[in-house]
Amino acid sequence: MANNTEPSFDDLSVFLAVCETAGFRAAARRLGLAPSNVSDTVARLEASLGVPLLTRTTRSVVPTEAGRELVQRLAPLWTQARHALSDIASTRHEVRGLLKINVTGAVMVDILPPLVDRFLERHPQVRMEIVVEDRLVDVVAEGCAAGIRYGEHLAQDMVSLPIGPRVQRLALAASPGYLARHGTPAHPDALVDHACIRLRFSSGALTAWDFQRGEQSITVDPPARLVIGVDAAPAAIDLACAGHGLMCTFANWLEPHLASGALVPVLPHWWQSFEGPRLYFPGRRVPAPLRAFIQVISEDQASPSVDR
């Protein structure tokens, strides 16, 4: 009589191995078990079902009629299960799904977009969401796989790597027309007497105007004739080109306008250099989309065109 114990999947897999290998010892070798454990497992399964499943002789182990029926019905299910597990395991090599990152607006002008373009072109199965904000956030708590910030704002327990230029500069510029009307300041202290265009973070703080020459460092907080949110920095640059005042911001943002002559460098010997942005993320279990994005970043860093 069968007992009320439900057969376990482990016991059924042992039974299938015995039938497939035609012996307890061969099944034990395949499963990494002792032959006595295999024999005890089959006996427990037979007791649970209340019918003999194997005919045992000194020379062979052969399924009974009930055993053959059980094998015929279980084998396809086990094959499907193995294929399902194999398919799931193989997805770790595929790049698909959502990559959500939290970034500072400073990288959205010219650093991040070309990397995103290459990444999406290479991995059409990936969806990407970029959350742009300048406040310091816990990227994991915000549901993001990674963030991009500058070095002084990185959490200590995160893995990080450079993205974009290794070194950036804080540049000061104005239009030729503005300088012709108001003169060119000869020292950062003179900026308080000029019309200045300032950028404001979403936190409410104005971006700092920091200058350095040799060992001398100066932070200036000039009165602003015009204040614009940092997310609208391109508009602020356009207004500087139109002659409405001096502007201090990332040199790479200003370079096209400096090259065209719409803006003129001011106090270039005082422009401060600082470390470029970094991608940061928890070091454990990096998802495939983030791994693939890191690969794109690494290739970009290896390119001779990256300013080091």
- Give residue limits of the domains in the chain: 9-92, 97-166+276-302, 167-273
**H or E stretch at 264:** strand 264-265
In the predicted structure, residue 308 carries a pLDDT above the cut 60: no
E strands, 37-105, in order: 54-56, 61-63, 97-103
Mean pLDDT of the chain: 87
The per-residue pLDDT for range 102-114, each reduced to its tens digit, is: 998 889 888 999 9
Of 51, 40, 42, the C-alpha closest to 2 is: 51
Residue 296 exposed, middle or buried by CB count within 10 Å (0-12, 13-18, 19+): buried
pLDDT of residue 3: 57
Vertex 82, ends 76 and 84: CA angle to 5°? Answer: 100
The per-residue pLDDT for range 200-248, each reduced to its tens digit, is: 987 788 999 999 999 999 999 999 999 998 888 999 999 999 999 999 9
pLDDT of residue 286: 84
In the predicted structure, residue 1 carries a pLDDT above the cut 60: no
Order of all β-strands in the sheet with 126-132: 126-132, 97-103, 146-149, 278-281, 159-162
Which residue(s) pair with 149 in the sheet?
Answer: 278
* CA distance linking residue 256 with residue 13, whole number of Å: 68
Of 268, 273, 242, the C-alpha closest to 257 is: 242
> Considering the chain, what percentage of its residues have pLDDT values greater than 90?
50
What's the topology of domain 9-92?
Arc Repressor Mutant, subunit A (1.10.10)
pLDDT of residue 273: 93
In the predicted structure, residue 84 carries a pLDDT above the cut 90: no
Measure Cα distances from 179 to 30, 108, 141, 190, 234 in Å: 84, 30, 48, 13, 21
- CATH no., domain 97-166+276-302: 3.40.190.10
> Considering the chain, what percentage of its residues have pLDDT values greater than 70?
91
The per-residue pLDDT for range 244-262, each reduced to its tens digit, is: 999 999 999 999 999 999 9
Mean pLDDT of 174-198: 96
Question: pLDDT class for 93, splitting at 50, 70, 90?
Answer: low
Contacts (Cβ under 8 Å, ≥6 apart) of 193: 185
pLDDT of residue 141: 76
Q: 167-273 architecture in CATH?
A: 3-Layer(aba) Sandwich (3.40)
Residue 239 burial (CB count, 10 A): 17
Of 241, 243, 291, 249, the C-alpha closest to 109 is: 249
Question: pLDDT class for 265, splitting at 50, 70, 90?
Answer: very high
The per-residue pLDDT for range 44-66, each reduced to its tens digit, is: 988 888 899 998 877 778 899 99
Structure tokens at 90: 């193989």
Same fold flag, 97-166+276-302 and 167-273:
yes
Place of tokens 């300041």: 185
3-state SS class at 175:
coil
